[in-house]
Amino acid sequence: MRPNKRDELVRKALQVFYRDGFHATGMDKLVVETGVSKTSMYKHFRTKEDLILAALQLRDESFREDFLRRIGEMSDSPAGQLLASFDVLGEWFQEEEYRGCMFIKAGAEFQERDHPIHKQSAEHKRIMLDHFTDLARQAGVREPEHLACQILLLQEGAIVTAVFLKSCDPARDAKAAAQVLLDSALA
């Protein structure tokens, strides 16, 4: 396979893993879903876990790029971007193919903290936390690290709630809670 075929394989595998889960998706299913032979898959990825790691890396890069670009489009102030993050989540929750956070799923399926897939999923969350800490710091809040942790907690709760409770508006409700926390941290 040419290098762009490898990237295509990772993109297609990402869609299958997101839709069906990691443990529930075997290599035979990936062969059918991606149209790539097992031999070709194993040329690029020694194991299914290697393919999962590549898919998570792609998801991390694409999600962060899209998410951070979108909050920047919604607000040019750091405090506004913290709050806009919930509006972006709300948009995501409305997508037909929304099935929650791939990194939460990966962490749940690979729970050993030293497992490479768990570590990569935790790294995605740490990078997001660092970004929100920087925004909180730029906004001039007291204890920016603390506020960033609270913001991330509200986001993660909204992500999970959006999967299970269609009668709620988790992005709106989490944003309202974040506004209270932000106002308190700025006072």
CATH number, position 110: 1.10.357.10
Total domains present in the chain: 1
Give the pair of three-digit tokens for residue 60.
């991390």
Range of the domain at 114: 56-186
In a domain, 97, yes or no: yes
Q: Contact at 8 Å (CB) between 27 and 108? A: no
Phi and psi for 161 in degrees, rounded to 5? -60, -40
Of the candidates 133, 103, 134, 105, the residue with the CA atom closest to the CA atom of residue 120: 103
| Cα three-residue angle 142-80-185, rounded to 5 degrees | 20
pLDDT of residue 1: 45
DSSP 140: T
Q: What is the dihedral of CA 6, 8, 14, 20, to 10 degrees?
A: -110
Look at residue 49 and tell me if it is in a domain: no
Q: What is the model's pLDDT at position 3?
A: 52
Determine how many CB atoms are found less than 10 A away from the CB of residue 79: 19
pTM of the model: 0.90
156-163 long-range contacts (CB < 8 A, ≥24 apart) are 156/101, 156/104, 156/125, 158/86, 158/89, 158/93, 159/89, 159/100, 159/101, 159/104, 160/100, 160/101, 160/104, 162/89, 162/93, 162/98, 162/100, 163/98, 163/99, 163/100
Average pLDDT by stretches of 10, the chain with 187 residues:
74 93 91 86 90 96 96 97 98 94 96 96 97 97 97 97 90 97 94
Q: How far apart are CA 49 and CA 32, in angstroms?
A: 18
Instruction: Indicate whether 119 belongs to any domain.
Output: yes
Q: pLDDT at position 14, please?
A: 94
- Is the residue at 96 inside a domain? yes
Quick one: which of 171, 172, 187, 181 has its CA closest to 146?
181
Tell me whether residue 16 is in a domain.
no
* pLDDT at residue 6, rounded to an integer: 84
